[in-house]
Structure 1
Amino acid sequence: MRYREFWQLVDEVLGEAQGREIVRTFVVGALGHRTAQAALDDGEEPRTVWHALCDELAIPESRRWGLDPHRQAPPRR
């Protein structure tokens, strides 16, 4: 997953304004008790951050991949 895809999913799944605020402020335990933004800034892979954020927010698998029904989910590492 590229950064562009990460941000596109944030906008589609969480909503542009609300999603970006969540990325900046919501602390995710699986990311070492960092925000998603801090994890990205520290070099974590976007797909790792996306999976952790979705898990923490209890986003169902059916909603995690945005509006494109043909988008494939990036594998977990």
Structure 2
Amino acid sequence: MRISQFNELMSDEFGEQFSAVLMRDLKLSGFNDQTPNQAISSGEDPKDVWIAICQTQSVPKSRWHGVSKKPGSNK
């Protein structure tokens, strides 16, 4: 996953302002309590970080590919 796709998913799901808060403050247990910003900066795959955020924030699995998007969809 490209970082631009990751950012789009974050913005679509949480809005720009709350996304910024999550990126800065949310501790991800699967990444040694790093924040999403720290995990991505340390080289973690944005897709893995996105899934961890979805799990932590109880995002329904149906939206893990994006709001109103389906697996394999280009939109």
Letter in 1 for 2:26: F
Kindly indicate whether residue 12 of structure 2 is the aligned counterpart of residue 7 of structure 1: no
CA RMSD of aligned residues (A): 1.7
Q: Percent identity?
A: 27
TM-score, normalised with respect to structure 1: 0.83
Q: Which has the higher strand share?
A: 1
**Pairwise CA distance, 1:47:** 0.5
Partner of 1:58: 58
Q: Distance in 1 between matches of 2:43 and 2:19?
A: 20
C-alpha separation between the residues in 1 aligned to 2:67 and 2:58?
18
Structure 2 regions of 5+ residues with no counterpart?
A: none
Shift, 1:70, TM fit? 4.3
- TM-score (norm: length of structure 2): 0.85
Residues in 2 aligned to 1:20 and 1:70: alpha-carbon distance in whole angstroms: 25
> Matched residue of 2:72: which SS?
coil
Structure 1 counterpart of 2:69, one-letter code: P
Helix, strand or coil for the counterpart of 1:34?
coil
Shift of 1:71: 5.1
Structure 2 residue identity aligned to 1:28: L
| Counterpart Cα distance in 2 of 1:2 and 1:46 | 7
Whether 1:21 and 2:21 are equivalent positions in the alignment is yes
8 Å contact kept, 1:13–1:64: no
